[in-house]
Structure formats: structure tokens, C-alpha cells
């Protein structure tokens, strides 16, 4: 019998934990690193030997070394090695650091701290000795996580808990907690930042699973983060921070539970949102300090060596989340291990260019350097994932001979329907995804209203800025993309689809009108559709003749106004609903050509009638004054371009499709801007000044003018935002439709018991 070479000895996980605690002790003993060349006398270390003179300081020093003692017990294989390493650790990390504190004027070096450290070390070792049998029996630690995932979790902790130096001093804690109880002005942006990073960190933590239990991972994360927020007395405690941590952790846990194997797409979305937030908001500092330098982490260095650490940790978590999401799963995003990190680096560079254009804060190369530093971790995880999914490992390494293709083809054909049902998303999972999207979209819109440069047209939509109204408006935005796809899919299942479209199109528009009616102000709705004036014109000005005047006079004015409102809004909404529906029909392969052509012809007719009603026959000049002469054809081309773009973007994403989408978007942005300039009026005389339609639609107010570059940047932002919302609504509608159909077919396939 031959045996292979003995495996190399590896460090236990507890050894890494002990090393991490040792690094933390060095950091905590020497913070804030303000060394001086002339130390205090060595006699000051031995001046006091009473370990309990200052009780809060004594408890802090005991608690500092307690986890190190617990980790050392499990890291060493024998009692002799445990006690030897414990004594060495106490001499180096306690006595040695007390001597090093002589060079720190802000710290007090004392032998009492070393004595308390020894107590903590002994208590930690005794606790581990007592709990060791129970921990071995429970097997709480998983041990299968990847270093990149745990590094991202560490970034999450750094962002929330820096400088992570807790204390039990009652006076310091009272001054720290008081701002959260005094009720200062609520900051939605702070809440959104902490909720976003908590959801992202929770998703990665649950995917890494350092503990075997999901509940243990979530509860441990909440306990550590909330405890650090309460016990680290640096800065003021804010209620938005605590709410953001709890809310984000709950959302991340639910997203992980609902998405299951597809949770990396949630990580990708949240990481992209977090990284974009750092660029478009004043994340690194006020715009007045904005400048560009090649020096990385300049926002950290310019304001002190430690103030900007949470900012850098937030950006590192977002960039690491993008890298981690792209190289995990069954199909990594990129054939080679360097493909996805290269795409992330290019995206980070473009975002930094956007920061320079927006002047939202100091710009540098720190995000690019962070992506390059994290790239090797992502490449290693890519190789590990690719090797785990090779088919030869599923058969060749196990020693089982693979059957011939002719033998397994009947079995494959027999299981095609079962595989389709497995691949179809579950209705409950998709429902949770819809809820999560609505929550994120509502919070994003609420945050957008706090920005100073938001166009006044957007601010006028929400008088009280109620979260409920913004949530209903978010439903209306998603319905803008979901409605056309549902309309095309439902009509495609009817015997004569083209006959149903004239009825289904107004119903989809009226649903959107209902959502807008209860979410935005009446004044804004009147500005969009025009005030209802048909009843007055017909009955008082004899607009349509004597017969119509007498007939309409018998009807209630409110009923006529409601009908006029519905018809005008339906026509206005159809200017975008009709081309989106046509694009959905053109990209849906279930539509046969002999049924597709009549449906497209009916939609073209409805599109033309809608334009005649709300543009040629407009009741007010709110819309017509913005449209150039003969500009309708250019705006129709713009609507067609946007509709095809939305339909393409709502498809199932892959690496090739993502690259194509990026190229198409880069081409569509200048093309759509050119079409809008051709279709909109460039000379409007109002308020004793000459304006353009773009200034009216995108400007901050009626006073300040924006440059051509600023207008294009705002147009690009609006176009991309509307593209994302409509494509997301269309994709969610497709997933809901597929999940509902799969649920119905699976329930119908269950055999029913015979009737008695």
C-alpha cells in the first residue's frame, strides 16, 4: 500500500482571528499615532500599580485582551504552546506597547493597564476552555468562505465603526449618544448611504457564510455594528445611522433569501448604485474643494490621515462588490480571469471622469488604484469558480465513465419540461424582487428631491414629499415599462390581437393616470395635460354648435371634465406607450409576422391620433410652445429610438449583451440629444429673456442658465435613468409573467384525487 505525500500544515482559522486581534490591539494602543521624538520618563510606567483605580479604564483594558485569549486557546494544539504564546503576547502587546506609549503625548503609559490586559487574557482563555466542547459539538464556523468576501465585510465594518475604539466611560458615551436623542434635522442621504452599504454588506456576508447559520450571521453583524456605533465615542451618534444599518441588513437578508442563486445580481446592482452615489453627491467633500490630482486617496490626505478612512472604505466596498459579483456564480462575467476586473477598472475611470465633470468633490485616482489592488483577489476567485464548473471534474475525477450521447438523449428529452420549470423563477421570489426595487426607487427619488440642482419641474410634482406619494409615483414609473410588455404579451395570446389593442391601450394609460392622480399634485397634472376646459367652451362659447351645446348642458360638468382628463392623458401617454408596445411586439419572438403587421399598423394609427389630439389640438400651450415647427417627426424618431433601446435593455443580460448595451448607449446619448434639439424649440421668449426648450425642461429654475455641456450631462442622466426604470419595469413584468405561468402549469400538472 502506497501513500501520497503528507499534506502541508496549515494555520487554523482561529490563528487568523488571533492575528487580527493582535493587529487591532496594536492599532488601539497607538491611535492616533501622534508620536514625538522626546518620550516621557520610563518611571511613569511603574508609577501606579493599582489596577482598579479607574474602573472604566480597567474594564476597557480587560475587554481589549479578552478576545485575544479566546482565540489563542483554539489556535494552539497543546497547553504548553498556549501558555507560552500567551506570555509572549502579553510581553509584546501589553508591556511593549505601554513602553511605546511613552512617545505618544495623548496616551498615558501605566503598568496598571498591562495588569488588566493580563486579566483579560486569562479570562478569555478560561472562557474558551469552558466553551470548547460545546463549540466543537455545534460546529458554528463554516470555514468555506473566500478571502475577497471577508475583506469586503471588513470594509463594511470599517465604514460603520471607524476608528473602532470602544469605551465604557459613562461621560463619553452620554455625550456621544445625546445627539441621537435630541432630534437634529433628519438627513435622508445619510440614511440611504448606511442602508445601501448595510444591504450590500449583508448580501456578501450571507454569500460568504463564515457561520453555518444564516440567522447567526445576521445577528452577529447587527450586534457588532450597532454595538460599535453605541460604544465608539468618536463623532455624534445619529438615528439615521442606526436605522440605516437595521433597515439595510433586513433588506439584504430578504434579497439574499428571495434571489437565492441569483443574489450576485443584487450585489451588482447595489454596488453600482453605491459607487454612483459617491460620484454624483458631495461624498468626499464640498464642491468648493473640488480638484483633480493623480495622487491616490487625496481626499483622505488633504483632510488628515484618518478622517477620510470611512469614505475610502465605502468606495472599496462598492468596487469590491462589483468585482465579487462578476466572478462568482455558475457563469463568471468574462471568459478570462482579467476580463471582468478590466471592465470594472474602465467603469471606475469613467465615473471618476464624471466626478470631474460634475465637480461634486475632489477627484483623484484612488478608486482606480482600489480596483487594481482588489483585482488579484477577484482573479483568484474567478479561477476557482471556473474550475469548479468544468464538466471533466464532474465525471473524469470521480472515475465514473460518461455514457454515450445516444444513450442519454432520450433521458434529456424526457426531462426538458422539468428543467424548464426549474429554471423558471418562483412567483414569490419575483414578488420580493419587485418590492425591493420599489423600496430602492422610492428612497432614491426621495433623496433626489434633497439635491439643490434638481429642476423645479420635478420639485413641483411632490408638494409634501411624502414617501407614500413617491412610492406610488415609483409604481407609475415602473408601469411605464411594464405596461407595454404586458399589453403586447396579453394581446399576443388573443385570437385577433389587433382588435384588442385599441381597448387595452387606454386601459393601460388610465391605470397610470390613477397612480399619478393620487401621487402628484393637481397643479402638476394640469400642467401636463392642460386644465379641463371643454365643458365651458362647448356650453358657453358654442364651440361645437347648438346641438352639442344643448346635449352637453344636460350632463354634469364633473363627468365631462373627468372624461376630458382621461382622454387627453391617454393620448399624451400613448405618445410613449404606443412606440414601447410596438418595440415589445417587434422583439417578442412569439408574435408571428402575419399577426405582427396588423398590430403594428393599428398602433401606428393610434400613435398618429394621439399626436393630433394633444399636439395639434392642444388645449394649452404648455406642450406646443416647446415643440419646434415640423419638430414632431424628430420627436417621433426620438421616441422610437428610446423604445427600441428599452426593449433591448430589458432582455436577459450576458457579457456580450452587456458590452453591446454599453456601446449602444454611448451612441444613443448624443443621437438622442441631437434629435431633441431638432424637435424642440431653441428660441422661446419668456420672462423678458430668450430660452431654449432644454433650459425649460432641465434647468434649475427660471433664472439661472446652464451651459451646453451641463445641459447635455443632465440630458444624459435623465435618459439613462428613464432607460433603466423602463427596462427594469419591462424585465420585472416578464419575470412575473413567466413565474405566474410556471406556477399555473405546475399546479395543473399535479394529479387530483378521484371524486368519490
pLDDT 10s digits, 523-568 = 777 766 666 777 777 888 777 778 878 888 888 887 887 787 778 8
For all residues of the chain together, what is the average pLDDT?
A: 77
Tell me: pLDDT of 397 over 80. no
DSSP letter at 530 equals -
pLDDT of residue 59: 79
pLDDT of residue 3: 45
**Rounded (5°) CA angle 83-84-89:** 95
Instruction: Determine contact, residues 152/320, Cβ cutoff 8 Å.
Output: yes
Q: Which residues pair with 363 in a beta bridge?
A: 292
The Cα 195–Cα 240 span in angstroms is 9
Cis amide prior to 285 (ω within 30 degrees): no
- Grid cell, residue 156, equals 463594511
| Residue with the larger pLDDT of the pair 464 and 282 | 282
pLDDT of residue 61: 81
Tell me: pLDDT of 235 over 70. yes
pLDDT 10s digits, 424-435 = 567 777 788 888
pLDDT of residue 361: 76
pLDDT of residue 417: 42
- Grid cell, residue 1, equals 500500500
Tell me: pLDDT of 596 over 80. yes
Tell me: pLDDT of 629 over 70. yes
Q: What is the mean pLDDT of residues 42-59?
A: 72
Banded pLDDT at 331 (limits 50, 70, 90): low
pLDDT of residue 300: 62
Q: What is the mean pLDDT of residues 644-672?
A: 81
Task: Name the one residue in this structure whose C-alpha cell is 460604544.
Answer: 231
pLDDT of residue 386: 65
Banded pLDDT at 230 (limits 50, 70, 90): confident
Range of lowest pLDDT (529-543, 603-617, 726-740)? 529-543
pLDDT 10s digits, 693-703 = 777 777 766 66
- Could you tell me which of 651, 648, 603 has the C-alpha nearest to residue 488? 603
Range of lowest pLDDT (180-184, 193-197, 445-449)? 180-184
How buried is residue 747: exposed, middle or buried, by Cβ count under 10 Å (0-12/13-18/19+)? exposed
Banded pLDDT at 744 (limits 50, 70, 90): low
The Cα 273–Cα 196 span in angstroms is 8
Reduced to 3 states (helix: H, G, I; strand: E, B; else coil), residue 141 is strand
Give the pTM: 0.52
The Cα 65–Cα 74 span in angstroms is 15
| Residue with the larger pLDDT of the pair 290 and 564 | 564
Q: What is the mean pLDDT of residues 579-601?
A: 84
- Grid cell, residue 608, equals 398618429
pLDDT of residue 200: 92
pLDDT of residue 5: 42
Tell me: pLDDT of 605 over 50. yes
Element (H, E) at 684: strand 684-686
| Residue with the larger pLDDT of the pair 354 and 398 | 354
pLDDT of residue 10: 41
pLDDT 10s digits, 6-19 = 433 344 567 777 88
| Residue with the larger pLDDT of the pair 471 and 408 | 471
Q: What is the mean pLDDT of residues 306-328?
A: 85
Length of the chain equals 756
pLDDT of residue 410: 44
Banded pLDDT at 141 (limits 50, 70, 90): low
Banded pLDDT at 288 (limits 50, 70, 90): low
pLDDT of residue 138: 57
Amino acid at each position: 500500500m502506497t501513500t501520497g505525500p503528507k499534506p502541508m500544515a496549515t494555520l487554523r482559522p482561529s490563528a487568523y482571528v488571533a492575528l487580527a486581534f493582535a493587529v487591532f490591539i496594536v492599532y488601539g494602543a497607538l491611535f492616533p499615532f501622534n508620536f514625538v521624538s522626546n518620550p516621557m520618563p520610563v518611571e511613569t510606567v511603574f508609577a501606579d500599580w493599582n489596577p482598579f483605580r479607574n474602573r472604566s479604564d480597567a474594564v476597557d483594558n480587560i475587554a481589549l485582551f479578552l478576545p485575544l485569549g479566546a482565540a489563542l486557546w483554539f489556535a494552539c494544539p497543546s497547553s504548553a504552546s498556549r501558555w507560552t504564546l500567551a506570555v509572549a503576547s502579553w510581553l509584546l502587546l501589553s508591556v511593549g506597547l505601554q513602553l511605546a506609549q511613552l512617545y505618544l503625548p495623548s496616551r498615558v503609559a501605566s503598568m496598571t493597564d498591562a495588569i488588566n490586559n493580563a486579566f483579560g487574557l486569562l479570562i478569555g482563555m478560561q472562557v474558551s476552555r469552558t466553551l470548547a466542547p460545546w463549540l466543537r459539538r455545534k460546529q458554528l464556523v463554516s470555514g468555506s468562505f473566500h478571502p475577497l468576501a471577508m475583506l469586503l465585510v471588513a470594509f463594511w465594518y470599517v465604514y460603520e465603526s471607524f476608528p473602532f475604539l470602544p469605551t465604557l466611560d459613562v461621560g463619553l458615551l452620554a455625550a456621544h449618544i445625546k445627539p441621537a436623542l435630541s432630534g437634529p434635522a433628519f438627513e435622508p442621504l445619510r440614511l440611504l448611504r448606511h442602508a445601501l452599504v448595510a444591504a450590500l454588506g449583508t448580501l456578501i456576508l450571507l454569500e460568504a457564510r463564515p457561520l453555518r447559520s444564516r440567522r447567526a450571521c445576521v445577528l452577529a453583524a447587527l450586534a457588532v455594528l450597532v454595538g460599535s456605533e453605541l460604544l465608539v465615542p468618536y463623532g455624534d451618534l445619529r438615528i439615521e445611522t442606526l436605522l440605516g444599518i437595521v433597515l439595510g441588513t433586513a433588506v439584504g437578508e430578504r434579497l439574499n433569501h428571495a434571489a437565492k442563486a441569483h443574489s450576485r445580481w443584487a450585489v451588482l446592482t447595489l454596488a453600482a448604485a453605491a459607487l454612483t452615489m459617491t460620484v454624483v453627491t458631495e461624498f468626499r467633500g464640498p464642491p468648493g474643494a473640488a480638484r483633480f490630482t493623480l495622487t491616490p486617496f487625496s481626499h483622505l490626505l488633504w483632510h488628515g490621515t484618518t478622517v477620510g478612512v470611512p469614505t475610502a472604505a465605502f468606495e472599496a466596498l462598492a468596487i469590491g462588490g462589483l468585482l465579487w459579483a462578476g466572478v462568482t456564480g455558475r457563469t463568471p462575467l468574462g471568459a478570462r480571469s482579467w476580463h471582468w476586473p478590466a471592465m470594472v477598472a474602465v467603469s471606475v475611470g469613467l465615473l471618476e471622469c464624471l466626478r470631474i465633470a460634475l465637480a461634486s468633490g475632489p477627484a483623484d485616482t484612488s478608486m482606480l488604484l482600489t480596483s487594481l489592488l482588489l483585482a488579484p483577489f477577484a482573479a483568484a476567485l474567478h479561477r476557482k469558480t471556473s474550475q469548479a464548473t468544468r464538466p471533466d471534474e464532474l465525471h473524469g475525477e470521480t472515475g465514473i465513465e460518461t455514457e454515450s450521447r445516444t444513450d442519454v438523449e432520450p433521458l434529456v428529452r424526457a426531462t426538458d419540461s422539468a428543467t424548464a420549470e426549474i429554471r423558471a423563477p418562483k412567483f414569490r421570489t419575483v414578488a420580493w424582487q419587485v418590492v425591493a426595487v420599489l423600496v430602492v426607487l422610492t428612497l432614491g427619488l426621495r433623496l433626489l428631491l434633497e439635491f439643490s440642482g434638481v429642476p423645479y419641474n420635478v420639485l413641483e410634482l411632490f408638494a409634501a414629499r411624502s414617501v407614500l406619494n413617491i412610492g406610488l409615483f415609483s409604481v407609475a414609473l415602473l408601469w411605464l415599462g411594464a405596461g407595454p410588455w404586458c399589453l403586447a404579451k396579453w394581446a399576443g395570446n388573443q385570437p385577433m390581437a389587433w382588435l384588442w389593442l385599441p381597448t387595452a391601450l387606454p386601459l393601460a394609460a388610465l391605470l397610470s393616470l390613477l397612480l399619478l392622480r393620487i401621487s402628484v399634485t393637481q397643479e402638476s397634472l394640469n400642467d401636463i395635460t392642460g386644465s379641463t376646459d371643454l365643458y365651458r367652451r362647448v356650453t358657453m362659447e358654442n364651440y361645437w354648435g347648438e346641438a352639442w351645446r344643448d346635449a352637453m348642458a344636460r350632463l354634469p360638468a364633473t363627468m365631462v371634465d373627468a372624461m376630458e382628463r382621461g382622454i387627453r392623458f391617454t393620448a399624451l401617454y400613448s405618445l410613449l406607450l404606443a412606440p414601447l408596445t410596438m418595440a415589445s411586439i417587434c422583439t417578442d419572438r412569439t408574435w408571428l409576422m402575419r399577426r405582427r403587421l396588423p398590430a403594428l399598423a393599428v398602433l401606428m394609427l393610434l400613435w398618429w391620433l394621439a399626436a393630433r389630439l394633444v399636439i395639434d389640438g392642444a388645449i394649452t400651450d404648455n406642450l406646443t410652445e416647446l415643440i419646434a415647427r415640423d419638430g414632431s417627426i424628430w420627436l417621433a424618431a426620438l421616441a422610437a429610438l428610446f423604445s427600441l433601446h428599452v426593449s433591448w435593455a430589458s432582455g436577459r443580460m450576458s457579457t456580450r449583451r452587456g458590452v453591446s448595451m454599453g456601446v449602444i448607449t454611448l451612441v444613443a446619448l448624443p443621437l438622442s440629444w441631437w434629435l431633441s434639439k431638432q424637435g424642440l424649440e431653441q428660441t422661446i421668449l419668456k420672462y423678458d429673456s430668450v430660452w431654449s426648450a432644454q433650459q425649460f425642461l432641465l434647468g434649475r429654475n427660471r433664472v439661472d442658465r446652464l451651459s451646453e455641456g451641463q445641459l447635455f450631462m443632465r440630458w444624459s442622466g435623465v435618459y439613462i435613468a428613464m432607460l433603466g426604470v423602463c427596462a427594469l419595469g419591462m424585465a420585472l413584468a416578464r419575470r412575473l409573467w413567466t413565474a405566474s405561468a410556471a406556477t399555473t402549469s405546475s399546479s395543473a400538472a399535479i394529479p387530483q384525487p378521484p371524486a368519490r
